[in-house]
């Protein structure tokens, strides 16, 4: 059997009916078999506070351990006020500390943003990439994924009801698999 990769997916929205969660589920569904895609929840992470580095709350430790164990990270996020939602920034900050022990270091990554709006969360997507540069996450450049009109893409069952989007997401995950293999340290 060939190598498989554990892909930790982080969703920037906490709401139950999140379009981004639906996009994340669709990405998992169309991923090639070597990618084992799972969602890592961030909604219960206490707000990052540097004082907690001495005696971290259990959810921080669990989150850091889960990210460290992953082979790659996939971010699927809405745009809030042209940037990333606070919950996602919090998860990034929690994973990045204590200093010198960042869980993100050298994990191959990819970013997808989705919005009902026409520009598909471009601002959030690129603000997130700014943090990923600092965190030494090699983030796949192409294909870019700004999913606009995301409120029109899903059926009442919450599943993707748009063939061209499905094909695009499939190609995205195939490219991500190649990216992970190319950026994984032996």
Tell me the C-alpha distance between 65 and 8, whole Å: 12
Among 13, 96, 102, 131, binds ligand FNR (CB under 6 A): 13
Residue 19 binding ligand FNR, by CB under 6 A: yes
Q: What is the 3-state secondary structure of 70-133?
A: CCEEEEEECCECCECCHHHHHHHHHHHCCCCCCCCCCCCEEEEEECCCCCCCHHHHHHHHHHHH
Residue 171's alpha-carbon distances to 35, 45, 116, 145, 174, in angstroms, are 13, 32, 22, 11, 5
Q: What share of the chain is helix, strand, coil (3-state, %, to 5)?
A: 40, 15, 40
Of the two residues 59 and 116, which places its CB atom closer to ligand FNR in the complex?
116
Q: Name the DSSP letter for residue 39.
A: E
Minimum CB separation of residue 65 from ligand FNR in Å reads: 26
Contact letters for ligand FNR, residues 82-101 (x by CB under 6 A): x-------------------
> Any idea what DSSP says for residue 169?
H
The CB-of-117 to ligand FNR minimum distance in angstroms stands at 3
- Indicate whether 152 belongs to the interface with ligand FNR (CB under 6 A): no
What is the rounded distance in angstroms from the CA atom of residue 20 to the CA atom of residue 12? 8
The nearer residue to ligand FNR, 94 or 153, going by C-beta atoms, is: 153
When the beta carbons of 19 and 140 are compared against ligand FNR, the nearer one is 19
- 25 part of the interface to ligand FNR, by CB under 6 A: no
Shortest CB 124 distance to ligand FNR, Å: 7
Q: Residue 10: beta bridge partners?
A: 75
Q: Which of 71, 79, 110, 131 binds ligand FNR (CB under 6 A)?
A: 79
Stretch that binds ligand FNR, among 30-38, 64-72, 109-117, 163-171 (CB under 6 A): 109-117
Q: Which residues bind ligand FNR (CB under 6 A)?
A: 13, 15, 18-20, 78-82, 115-117, 121
């Amino acid at each position: 059997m060939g190598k498989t990769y554990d892909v930790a997916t982080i969703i920037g929205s906490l709401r139950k009916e999140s379009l981004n969660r639906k996009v994340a589920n669709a990405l998992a569904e169309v991923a090639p078999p070597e990618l084992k895609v799972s969602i890592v929840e961030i909604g219960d992470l206490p707000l990052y506070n540097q004082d907690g580095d001495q005696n971290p709350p259990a959810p921080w430790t669990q989150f850091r351990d889960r990210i460290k164990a992953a082979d790659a990270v996939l971010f699927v996020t809405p745009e809030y006020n042209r940037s990333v939602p606070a919950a996602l920034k919090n998860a990034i900050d929690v994973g990045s500390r204590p200093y010198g022990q960042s869980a993100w270091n050298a994990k191959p990554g990819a970013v997808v943003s989705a919005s009902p709006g026409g520009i598909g969360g471009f601002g959030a997507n690129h603000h997130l990439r700014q943090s990923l540069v600092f965190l030494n996450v090699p983030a796949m450049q192409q294909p870019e994924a700004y999913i606009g009109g995301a409120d029109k893409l899903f059926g009442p069952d919450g599943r993707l009801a748009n063939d061209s989007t499905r094909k695009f997401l499939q190609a995205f995950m195939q490219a991500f698999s190649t990216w992970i293999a190319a950026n994984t340290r032996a």
